[in-house]
Amino acid sequence: MKLKFTYLLSIIIACGITSCRKDAEKQNQKVEYIISREDSINDAWVKSNKVPSPLVPEDMKCYLDIVFIFDPKKVYIYQTERNFNPDGEEIKYEYPNYIGLKPEYLLTIDNKNFVTFLKDNNSLFGVFTEGNIRGSFCIASETDTLKSLAFVDLAKELKKAKSKAHYIVRKTTEEENTVLKYKRNNQEFFPEKISWSNKFLNGNLTPFTKEYSIFESRIDIVRTAKETYKKKTRKFEM
């Protein structure tokens, strides 16, 4: 009888430990957003409902006014602006253009402070609808699986606030990945000396080449990174 009781007690303890572990895992479970899976779901929905894709200007397919780059610990923020060429024309291109992004253009925010930062500066970012404020922003991740508590918090707040802001989710571009590397390593950035690929605009153009400049000069609207803050330089006073 004593052996049976000891055996039963062991089972109860084991089950209790397993249950606690499962509860802890459930509480600590992070919501993940898989970019390619979401894209495929959206494509399937469009096909099943036979609804044509909206006409999106070329310069807005990859970049919007604000770009948020999420990683597991931080969020990097930068702005873009539209440049109009009166002599240009609407040209289709499959790859992003070179926007001239620099490490000092990226603001860095810890994940836990991200949503609070956006709320306190909503007049700048327009993420949460207030009066006539309705922003557009881009969410980007270096990996296909977006793992970020800041992203989870943002998704909850957008739903709660019933925000009407327009946004897209995508993977980071070659240019963003390169600039992030220099930003994190605190290295001097000389874009002209970097070996860029030819995966820009029509997929056969490399930034800082004559061919690239000619092609871009023909486009009616071109996105560029916005210099929000100037880089602080060391100044010697005599």
Task: Express each pLDDT in 152-205 by its tens digit.
Answer: 999 899 888 888 788 889 999 999 999 999 999 999 999 999 999 999 999 999
- Angle CA(21)–CA(26)–CA(32) in degrees, nearest 5? 135
pLDDT of residue 141: 94
CA distances from 83 to 95, 101, 195, 206 (A): 18, 15, 26, 20
Amino acid sitting at position 158:
L
Report how far apart the first and last C-alpha atoms of the chain are (Å, whole number): 93
Both tokens of residue 77?
Answer: 């923020």
Q: Considering the entire predicted model, what is its pTM?
A: 0.80
Question: Contact 222/90 with Cβ under 8 angstroms?
Answer: no
SS3 state at 13 = helix
CA distance 95 to 102: 19
Residue scoring higher pLDDT (66 or 36): 66
